[in-house]
Amino acid sequence: MITTSGLTKRYGGVLVLDAVDLSVQEGDRYGVLGPNGSGKTTLIRLLLGLVYATSGDIRVMGQPVPRRLNTVLPEIGALVEGPAAYEHLSGRVNLALLDAAGPGGVRRTRNSRIAAALDRVGLAGIDNRPVKAYSMGMRQRLGLAAALLRTPRLLILDEPTNGLDPQGIREIRDLLHDLNAAGTTVFISSHLLPEVEQLCTRVGIVDQGRLILQSDLAALHTPTGRVIVATPDADQAAVLLDGRVDQRTGDRLLVRETDPAALNARLVGAGLRVTQIVAEHLSLEDVVLAVTRPGSDRVDRPDDRS
């Protein structure tokens, strides 16, 4: 669906993206994670032909971008760096103007498509207030409605849940799940780990302009070779497992062991009570923190930074 090879972008002398090889398959829910200023938005702008690459190739739906943008863009719904609308007009009028501005917006079906899109994002009952009276969450929903107006094959959404409350975040996540189940490929960027972890099947991690990791989410959750044990008999357990306990906090032990079942049998066999036992897995947060450096919004003194 999206492939880039050696994609590089400089603004002036500043390297913003450095040799990015992205690969998104049809049907993926792909999340690009990265700290602020890592190049996520620039990557999205490049994919959509808003900015032009310094070097490297982009293919979207098999077509070269930006050369064949006109055939690619009609099948893409996008949200780039926050929603935008004409402030003095209502949400409906904004959608109608946008729809009329380009190809494929059949006038006969316009009103019903607008109603359907507003319904999907939870704005079905919106009145004729101008957009300047909208809350941030309503603007975000309107932006999503604009992206859904012509049932795109590919959704490219930059921080799709920005400005939404927990309830709204949940709604949008469910909406994206539904659209994906109906065949839409979903590509989002975010700096929020839970958002990507709960929505995506595949994840790419961008840091300082480089795509430093690209993997199925499931593959990242590898076992660490340790088992978390909670037991009221922590003292005896620590003695029994002497040398294999990496860490102890209260009655929780972190034991080097790959098989939780065998460990459980051994503890119970020794007459120790076990309240919880589970293999430890890497969380997405562990992976991200291990491979990224602080975001560009953190500015340390030069000697503090390695």
Partner 1 sequence: MIAVELGKLARRPRTWLSIGLLCALPVLVAVFLAVTELGPGPGEQPAFLSAVLSNGALFPAAALAIVLPIFLPVAVAVVAGDAVAGEASGGTLRYLLLRPVARTRLLAAKLLSLVAFVLAGVVAVAVTSFIVGVALFPSEPAAVTSVSGVTLTASELAARIAGAVFYVAVSMLGVGAIALFLSTVTDSPLAAALGALAALVTSQVLVTLDAAGAVRPYLPTRYWLAWIDLFRDPILWRDIDRGLGLQAVYVAVFLAMAWANFATKDIKS
Binding site for partner 1 (CB under 8 A): 11, 45, 48-52, 69-70, 73-74, 76, 78, 80-89, 93, 97-98, 100-103, 146
Q: Which DSSP string do the residues of 145-194 spell out, in sequence order?
A: HHHHTT--SEEEEESTTTT--HHHHHHHHHHHHHHHHTT-EEEEEES-HH
Taking the CB of residue 45, how many other CB atoms lie within 10 A of it?
19
Please report how close the Cβ of residue 69 comes to partner 1 at its closest, in angstroms. 6
Q: How far is 10 from 16, CA to CA, in rounded Å? A: 6
CB burial readout 275-304, b (16+ within 10 A) else e: eebebbeeebeebbeeebeeeeeeeeeeee
DSSP single-letter state for residue 108: G
Q: How far is 233 from 207, CA to CA, in rounded Å? A: 44
In the complex with partner 1, which residue's Cβ is closer, 50 or 238?
A: 50
In the complex with partner 1, which residue's Cβ is closer, 101 or 219?
A: 101
Please report how close the Cβ of residue 197 comes to partner 1 at its closest, in angstroms. 28
In the complex with partner 1, which residue's Cβ is closer, 87 or 165?
A: 87
Closest by CA position to 257, among listed 284, 281, 228: 228
Task: State how far Cα 64 lies from the chain centre.
Answer: 24
Please report how close the Cβ of residue 275 comes to partner 1 at its closest, in angstroms. 53
Q: By CB neighbour count within 10 A (0-12 exposed, 13-18 middle, 19+ buried), where does 267 fall? A: buried
Please report how close the Cβ of residue 12 comes to partner 1 at its closest, in angstroms. 11
In the complex with partner 1, which residue's Cβ is closer, 145 or 245?
A: 145
Please report how close the Cβ of residue 100 comes to partner 1 at its closest, in angstroms. 5
In the complex with partner 1, which residue's Cβ is closer, 60 or 234?
A: 60
Q: How far is 173 from 198, CA to CA, in rounded Å? A: 8
Please report how close the Cβ of residue 95 comes to partner 1 at its closest, in angstroms. 11
In the complex with partner 1, which residue's Cβ is closer, 37 or 74?
A: 74
Asked if 105 contacts 95 with a C-beta cutoff of 8 angstroms, the reply is: no
Instruction: State yes or no: cis peptide before 66, omega within 30 of 0.
Output: yes
In the complex with partner 1, which residue's Cβ is closer, 48 or 288?
A: 48
Asked if 128 contacts 90 with a C-beta cutoff of 8 angstroms, the reply is: yes
Please report how close the Cβ of residue 52 comes to partner 1 at its closest, in angstroms. 6
In the complex with partner 1, which residue's Cβ is closer, 76 or 287?
A: 76
Please report how close the Cβ of residue 102 comes to partner 1 at its closest, in angstroms. 4
